């Protein structure tokens, strides 16, 4: 039992009897922001501060004299007596002077997390204890939030295979995110890598120069870092990284730190590479199928010179056997035989170049020449359908930077479409006009115009979709591939209705960079 009367605040009799010392204590108790609860050696509450009243929802008078267990939820409630007895018996301190995070119970039954610090009142016997309780609901909340956003960030980094880091200029404040450690196969404890280390141990030797240039630009403050390079891991694996970083400068202009992200784009690169390879196979396939469609016309194109050669040769035999051999005619005929043999060879050479599966390469291309070259391949087809093929090129066009074979493929495909579009129109209307002109300072435009049946509105919607075709034997790849080729060259491909009738397909290509800029 308490050896002193309870000092319950609000108790009118006790208050007057208190010493000034006790009043000071009381004032101190009530002024404290933390809730303060004083208990005796058996856990009976002796004092309950104003903040405690607010925190627990009890009036002091309600709880003074009750056991402090009542302020605790299970399992603390049943264990508390045991704790106290052990302390009294052994003097072992589990909480006194240490403080810990516990859960407390409000009058309304709600639990809340709190920091509890306990002090033993010196010189009192039996001992008394003072508990300081601070509500940490908000802090816990914030901590929870932080933990969640950290784990979300980690997950996001894992998913994106993207890591971030902070590299302090003074050597302090370095941070390497877990995902970045994984990307670099770095031990999570190693939180500091110097740029020299990084360059030597990771960056692919062929990319080092580029890497250093990019960093130099960032350090000088001219541009944030944005560079793609390869790294070589310890096991020899090569990864592609996209590195973004920014230098942070202090008020005096001194470099404080770098913050950056490193994105492992190896998989994306692989997908892109595969897509490109697929595109090239498709492009090749489309060229072959274009060739297949043109086979009849091409057979004719080769048959013409062969036929002329045969006839010339037979004429020569007869001319020589004449009583007075017409030798001049024979010489002319032999010249022609030679020329026609070369002509047949040329057709075959162009075909082979066109059909061959090959590396894409860019070179300055003269559009006027390109169209003229193409006339031979396209003319065959046009003749077959009794279609006139007209070329109208502006003189003095700048060259474009392109792959000539791919460009031929685009034009040939558009011409074939134009020819097909005119199958049903009267003979006098059948003309395809190929024109090239300077569209602007840095673009050349090529137009293939027909006088065919034009494009149905419902067709224009899907025109460029792969496998969309209005032809019985079409693959539906021609326009899709043409557009992707033009786009890969940095140009655009579109269509407009022709003024009188039919359709016009336009595409642009950027002109070659001026020679003076070097290359």
* Residues contributing to the site for other proteins (CB under 8 A): 296, 299-300, 303-312, 314-315, 318-319, 322, 326, 329, 332-333, 336, 339-340, 343, 382-384, 386-388, 427
Least distance from other proteins to the Cβ atom of residue 308, Å: 4
Q: Closest approach of Cβ 411 to other proteins, in Å? A: 19
Torsion from C-alpha of 144, 147, 150, 155, nearest 10 degrees: -100
Helix and strand numbers, DSSP H then E, in the chain: 15, 17
Compare residues 250 and 325 and give the one whose CB is closer to other proteins: 325
Query: Which of 238, 331 has the CB closer to other proteins?
Result: 331
Distance, in Å, from the CA atom of 319 to the CA atom of 329, rounded to the nearest integer, reads: 8
To other proteins, the closest distance from the beta carbon of 503 in angstroms equals 22
* Nearest approach, Cβ of residue 343 and other proteins (Å): 8
Our CB check for other proteins shows the closer of 194 and 303 to be: 303
Three-state SS for 100? strand
Shortest CB 296 distance to other proteins, Å: 5
State the nearest-atom distance from the C-beta of 473 to other proteins, in Å: 16
| Minimum CB distance to other proteins smaller for 303 or for 460 | 303
Minimum distance of other proteins from residue 393's CB (angstroms): 20
CA distance readout (Å), 139 to 24, 56, 73, 135, 144: 31, 18, 20, 9, 8
Residue 226 C-beta: closest distance to other proteins, Å: 56
Cβ distance to other proteins smaller for residue 30 or 332: 332
DSSP 512: P
- Closest CB to other proteins among 273 and 427? 427
Q: What's the 3-state SS for 413-427?
A: HHHHHHHHHCCCCCH
Tell me the closest approach of the beta carbon of residue 400 to other proteins, in angstroms.
30
| CB contact set of 270 (below 8 Å; sequence gap of 6+) | none
CA distance 162 to 200: 21
Concatenating the DSSP letter of every residue in 213-257 gives: HHHHHHHTTSS-EEEEEEEE-TTS-EEEEEEEEEEEE-TTS-EEE
SS3 content of the chain, % helix, strand, coil (to 5): 45, 25, 30
Q: In what order do the strands lie in the sheet with 443-449?
A: 388-393, 431-440, 443-449, 503-510, 493-497
Nearer residue to other proteins within complex by CB, 132 or 312: 312
User: How far apart are alpha carbons 134 and 52 in whole angstroms?
Assistant: 9
Strand order in the sheet with 225-232: 175-176, 162-168, 255-264, 238-249, 225-232
Burial class (CB in 10 A: 0-12, 13-18, 19+), 499: exposed
Nearer to other proteins, 367 or 374 (CB): 374
Q: Which is nearer to other proteins, 31 or 306 (CB)?
A: 306
């Amino acid at each position: 039992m308490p050896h002193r009367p309870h000092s319950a605040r609000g108790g009118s009799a006790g208050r007057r009897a208190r010493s000034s010392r006790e009043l000071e204590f009381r004032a101190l108790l009530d002024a404290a922001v933390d809730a303060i609860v004083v208990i005796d050696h058996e856990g009976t509450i002796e004092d309950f501060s104003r903040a405690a009243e607010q925190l627990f929802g009890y009036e002091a008078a309600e709880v003074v004299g009750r056991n402090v267990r009542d302020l605790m939820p299970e399992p603390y409630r049943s264990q508390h007596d045991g704790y106290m007895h052990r302390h009294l018996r052994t003097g072992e301190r589990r909480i006194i002077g240490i403080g810990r995070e516990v859960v407390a119970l409000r009058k309304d039954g709600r639990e809340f997390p709190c920091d509890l610090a306990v002090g033993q009142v010196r010189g009192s016997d039996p001992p008394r204890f003072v508990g300081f309780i601070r509500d940490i609901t908000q802090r816990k909340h914030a901590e929870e939030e932080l933990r969640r956003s950290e784990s979300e960030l980690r997950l996001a980094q894992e998913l994106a295979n993207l890591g971030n880091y902070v590299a302090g200029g003074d050597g302090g404040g370095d941070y390497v995110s877990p995902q970045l450690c994984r990307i670099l196969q770095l031990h999570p404890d190693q939180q500091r890598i110097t740029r020299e280390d990084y360059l030597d141990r990771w960056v692919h030797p062929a990319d080092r120069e580029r890497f250093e240039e990019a960093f130099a630009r960032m350090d000088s403050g001219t541009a944030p870092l944005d560079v793609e390079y390869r790294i070589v891991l310890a096991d020899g694996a090569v990864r592609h990284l996209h590195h973004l970083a920014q230098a942070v400068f202090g008020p005096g202009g001194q470099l404080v730190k770098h913050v950056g992200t490193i994105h492992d784009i190896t998989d994306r690169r692989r997908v892109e590479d595969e897509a490109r390879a697929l595109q090239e196979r498709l492009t090749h396939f489309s060229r072959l199928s274009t060739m297949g469609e043109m086979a009849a016309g091409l057979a004719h194109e080769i048959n013409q010179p062969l036929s002329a050669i045969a006839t010339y040769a037979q004429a020569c035999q007869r001319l020589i056997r004449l009583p007075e051999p017409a030798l001049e005619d024979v010489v002319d005929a032999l010249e022609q035989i030679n020329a026609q043999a070369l002509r047949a060879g040329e057709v075959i050479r162009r075909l082979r170049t066109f059909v061959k599966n090959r590396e894409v390469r860019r070179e300055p291309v003269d559009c006027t020449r390109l169209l003229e070259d193409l006339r031979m391949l396209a003319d065959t087809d046009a003749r077959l359908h009794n279609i006139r093929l007209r070329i109208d090129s502006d003189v003095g066009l700048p060259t474009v930077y392109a792959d000539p074979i791919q460009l031929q493929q685009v034009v040939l495909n558009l011409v074939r479409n134009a020819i097909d579009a005119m199958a049903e129109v009267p003979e006098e209307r059948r003309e395809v006009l190929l024109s090239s002109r300077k569209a602007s300072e840095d673009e050349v435009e090529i137009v293939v115009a027909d006088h065919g049946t034009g494009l149905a509105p419902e067709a224009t919607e899907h025109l460029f979709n792969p496998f969309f075709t209005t032809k019985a034997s079409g693959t539906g790849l021609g326009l899709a591939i043409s557009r992707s080729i033009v786009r890969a060259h940095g140009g655009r491909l579109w269509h407009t209705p022709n003024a009188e009738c039919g359709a016009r397909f336009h595409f642009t290509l950027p002109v070659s960079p001026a020679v003076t800029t070097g290359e």
